[in-house]
Structure 1
Amino acid sequence: MAEPLRIIHCFRSPIGGIFRHVRDLAEQHSRAGHHVGIVCDSLTGGAHEDALFEDIKPFLSLGLTRIPIHRAISLEDIPTVWRGYRTIKSLRPDVLHGHGAKGGMLTRVIGSLLRADKYCVARVYTAHGGSLHFSRSTLGGSFVLKMERLLEHFTDALIFICDFERQAYQSKVGRPTKLSRLIYNGINERDFRSVPTRSDGVAFVYIGMLRDLKGPDLFIEAVARTEKLVGRPLSALLIGDGPDRDKYRSAIDEAGLARRIGILPAMRIEDALSMSRTIVVPSRAESLPYIVLEALAASKGVIAANVGGIPEVLGPTSEALARPGDAADLARIMAASILEHNWRERVMPGIETIHKTFSAPVMAGDVLKLYREILDRRAVAKI
């Protein structure tokens, strides 16, 4: 029987899909007998994230380490790399798995420093969108994408969480020269349960980070447009935390919607999903957002922008997909979901498809196979 692995996950912000992804991997791999730890930022997150960390701590035999990790690349990264290096070296990992652009950078730099110190460690990177949202046409985007190509030299394997991400990497960074795998995000068996809508629920809910990339401003405009299309007032909620909360509150007030659109802080996903029958994902850019999987598994309707890997879940020709950045098109679909009695049952993909394709145990098993493959190759190379 193979020896248990020592696995460290490194990422910046413990918020949103990356955090969910790492929690699922940590739980699945810990239950399989492996030792797992997390290194992430200490500057972001609040009470909601603290509660999620408490949930996952029993699966973190290598502990939880939080250090300041800034979003932008700067000289502040030097002490971060040094602190991360000392912490990770003391944990003696077999695998360093970086998530997101900053987590991926730190993992590959620290992993390569360990390699230089004659320490064998597998360096794995999952982008989760991250730097792949940048464009080559801008100076900043060109720099970030060139950094991705450079860092590939210090990578043992790349994981793409959807085909969109794989195609984006090939077109913006280049065809991978290192081992790569497509491994879809997955959710747990316990997520596949119908979540009843509260008696005081609203017509539509947005669940996610409150920043422009995710489109809360488009959601607010689309709710106003939908009211005109259906001919009556509607209620809605934005649920989440982020840097633009005050801006969205002002936008709601200026639109005269303060009594009909509320804003609540981030909460447990079951509680958020209970607020409405229909979840709206108006993002300007995505990879493969967990909220789409979680909502479908809870028997909710999903209306989303046609971005990232979302069409791989809803179907490439789904009537639930709106043109990116188009509040009017989003409102058209939102109105249809209200006016057509069986819209959700007719348009949403079957739960069996979601269960089969987007499974956390399958995801964790495929990731573990990749770890083993890298380590086996390293062992053979040393002979």
Structure 2
Amino acid sequence: MARPLRILQVMRAPVGGLFRHVADLTRGLRARGHSVGLIVDSLASDAQTERRLDALREFADLGVHAMPMPRVLGRGDLSTPFAVRKLARDLSIDILHGHGAKGGFYARLAHIGRKRPVALYTPHGGVLHFSARSRSGKAFHWLERRLLGQTGAIIFESDFARETYGRLITPPTCRTEIIYNGLDAGEFEPVVIAEDAADFVFVGELRELKGVFPLVEAMVGLRRKDGTAATLVMAGDGPQRAELEERIAALSLGERVKLVGSQPAQTVFAQGRVAVLPSLAESLPYVVLEATAAQLPVVTTSVGGIPEIFAGTTETLVTPGDAEALARAMQAVLDRPEAARAEMQVRLRRVASEFSLETMVGRIEALYRDVQEKG
């Protein structure tokens, strides 16, 4: 029987899909007998982050270690790779798995000049969202190219992400695998919709990248079959909340659009009858998978790996940033709810078969073993 692995997961993001992925992976690997530790950002810590990390500590038997990870470029980028390297040596780590741009950089920089631990990397969108023309984009993409030689494998969560990496940065010279994000079997339960639920529900960060401004613009003319105005619940927080509130007021939508702050997705799904997720860019968003598993019809955009989730139902995807097209898609669901639910059932079957947490963890574990043996 193969010995258990000693694994460090390195990430910056304290919330969102990346955190969800690392949390699921940590629990899954621990259940399979491996020892796991986490390296997280010490600069972005708050009460919500600490609560999330506290819930993971029992599964992270190698500890949760906080180090400075600036959002773009900063002083922590000079010290943290050395701290990661030292921790990996002290804990006799076999696998360093970096998540997101910063996690990926630190894991691979810590590997320079060493055969062990093997460094793997999952972009999670991250560096793929930087324009090749921006200063930050040029810096990050240059680093990506330089660090390919230190990379045991790159795990892409969608075919879109792998294609984009090759086109935007460079075709990877290391091993690559496409491993979809997965949901636990227990998540595939229909949500109980509240009697006073809104017509639509949004879950995500309140910032431009998530399409929140086209979404509220699309709400202006939406009407139910009885002629009354449609309503929307928006859950989440973010750097552009105040700007969004101003836009909602300017559109006279204060009575129809309700911001409820950050809440668990399952709690929020009960507050709306249709999930709407109008992102301008994504990798493979968990919230689309979660809404489908909760058996909500989904109106979303044709970005990132979403068409891979929507395989068989892609004709209803919306052009990102087009408020008029989004409004037409949302109105179609209001006008033809039976058709929307039939489409949801097609998508539900695909997500249940292709986006399994057990499959995700098993394939990543197998990749760890393989790259370690060949490294």
* Alignment TM class, shorter chain as reference: over 0.9
Write the letter of the residue equivalent to 1:20: R
Partner residue, 1:357: 354
Determine what percentage of the aligned residue pairs are the same residue. Answer: 36
Structure 2 counterpart SS, 1:51:
helix
- In the alignment, structure 1 segments of 5+ residues that lack a partner are 379-383
Per the alignment, do residues 50 and 200 of structure 1 end up closer, same or farther by CA in structure 2, a change over 3 Å counting? farther
- Residue 149 of structure 1 is matched in structure 2 by 145
Deviation at 1:316, TM superposition (A): 6.3
Asked if the contact 2:88–2:117 (Cα under 8 Å) also holds between the matched residues in 1, the reply is no
After the TM superposition, which residues 233-252 of structure 1 pair with which residues of structure 2 at under 5 Å, given as runs?
233-252=229-248
Alignment match, 1:381 = none
TM-score normalised according to structure 2 size: 0.94
Q: 1:332 & 1:21 partners in 2: Cα distance?
A: 33
Give the 3-state SS of the residue equivalent to 1:203 in structure 2. Answer: strand
**1:103-182 matched pairs, under 5 angstroms:** 103-112=103-112, 115=114, 120-182=116-178
> Matches of 1:86 and 1:328 in 2, distance apart?
53
Separation (CA, whole Å) in 1 of partners of 2:311 and 2:189: 21
Matched, 1:336 2:352: no
Report deviation, 1:235: 1.7
Equivalent positions of 1:227-376 (< 5 A) are 227=223, 231-315=227-311, 318-348=314-344, 349-376=346-373
> How many angstroms apart in 1 are the aligned matches of 2:107 and 2:223?
48
CA–CA separation in structure 1 for the residues paired with 2:67 and 2:82:
11
Q: Which residue of 1 aligns with 2:83?
A: 83
Q: How many Å apart are 1:297 and its aligned residue?
A: 0.6
1:140-187, Cα deviation, whole Å (9 max, x unpaired): 433322221111121111101000001101111222111111111111
Q: 1:343 offset after TM fit, Å?
A: 2.7
Judge conservation of contact 1:13–1:45 (CA < 8 Å) in 2: no
Q: For the structure 1 residues 229 and 311, does the alpha-carbon distance in structure 2 shift closer, same or farther, using more than 3 Å as the test? A: farther
Look up the match of 2:50.
50
Distance in 2 separating the partners of 1:5 and 1:303: 41
Shift in alpha-carbon separation, 1:145–1:317, aligned structure 2, 3 A: farther
Aligned residue for 1:153, secondary structure, equals helix
Corresponding letter in the other structure for 1:81: P
**Whole-Å Cα distance in 2 between the matches of residues 312 and 186 of structure 1?**
13
| Aligned match for 1:215, one of 194, 211, 217 | 211
**Partners in 2 of 1:282 and 1:158 — Cα distance?**
28
Change (3 A) 1:229 1:332: farther
Q: Identify the residue that residue 100 of structure 2 maps to in structure 1.
A: 100
Closer, same or farther: CA 327–229 of 1 in aligned 2, 3 Å: farther
Q: Tell me the CA shift for residue 38 of structure 1.
A: 1.0
Q: Report which stretch shifted further, 135-144 or 146-155.
A: 135-144
Q: Which moved more, 1:216-225 or 1:286-295?
A: 216-225
Give TM-score, length-normalised by structure 1: 0.92
Deviation, 1:340, is 0.7
d(CA) in 2 for partners of 1:37, 1:199: 43
Q: CA deviation at 1:320?
A: 3.1
Distance 1:241 1:68 in 2: 23
Alpha-carbon distance in structure 2 between the residues aligned to 1:230 and 1:63: 56
The 4+ residue runs of structure 1 with deviation greater than 6 A are none
Q: Which amino acid aligns with 2:177?
A: R
Deviations 1:38-75 (A, max 9, x none): 11113336444433323322211111122231111233
RMSD, aligned CA: 1.9
The whole-number CA distance in structure 2 between the counterparts of 1:20 and 1:273 is 17
Q: Which moved more, 1:16-25 or 1:224-233?
A: 224-233
The residue type equivalent to 1:264 in the other structure is V
Amino acid at match of 1:352: R
Q: 1:190 to 1:36 in 2, by over 3 A?
A: same
Q: What amino acid maps onto 1:19 in structure 2?
A: F
1-structure distance, mates of 2:371, 2:165: 21
Distance, in Å, in 1 between the alignment partners of 2:236 and 2:68 is 22
Whether contact under 8 Å (1:278, 1:300) holds in the other structure is yes
Tell me the alpha carbon deviations over residues 195-231 of structure 1, each in whole angstroms, 9 at most, x when there is no partner: 1111221111110111111111121111124249984
Paired residue secondary structure (2:314) = coil
Residue in structure 2 matched with residue 24 of structure 1 by the alignment: 24
Distance 2:226 2:333 in 1: 10
Write out per-residue CA displacement over residues 282-336 of structure 1, whole angstroms, 9 at most, x where no aligned residue.
Answer: 1110000000001101101111111000010012652431011111111111111
Q: Which amino acid aligns with 2:65?
A: T
In structure 2, C-alpha distance between the alignment counterparts of 1:319 and 1:122, rounded to whole Å: 42
Q: Is the 8 A contact 1:336 1:343 kept in 2?
A: no
Q: Which residue of 2 aligns with 1:377?
A: 374
